[in-house]
Amino acid sequence: MFYNLLARLDAYLMPLIDKMDSVIRNEGTDYSKYSSESKGIIARATSTAVSVKAVLDTPILTGDGSLTEESEATAISLLADVNAKEHFTQ
């Protein structure tokens, strides 16, 4: 479950990192001067990176090896977020 979620987040994040790199090369590092579109790219990249961190920070298993409730809740929430992001970009 988590591998699939991380793979989907990575597939969404990598093109955003390329776009963010392009924004920085073309518009510099002063965020206040970025176009609305460029600010949107930065926001989506940041949001996705925060989602990746949430997955990585979530304890997956209990001491007896079963899935924690927190990990299941996090996975469900982030999967909904990924689905929404994928729908937004199509």
Name the residue ranges covered by the structural domains of the chain: 2-89
Please give the C-alpha separations between residue 62 and each of 3, 23, 68, 69, in angstroms, as whole numbers. 18, 43, 6, 9
Residue 1, pLDDT > 80, answer no
Residue pLDDT, tens place only, 69-82:
777 777 777 778 77
Residue pLDDT, tens place only, 26-59:
999 999 999 999 999 999 999 999 988 988 887 7
CA distance 21 to 24: 5
The three-class DSSP label of residue 67 is strand
pTM beyond 0.75: the answer is no
Percent of the chain with pLDDT over 90: 43
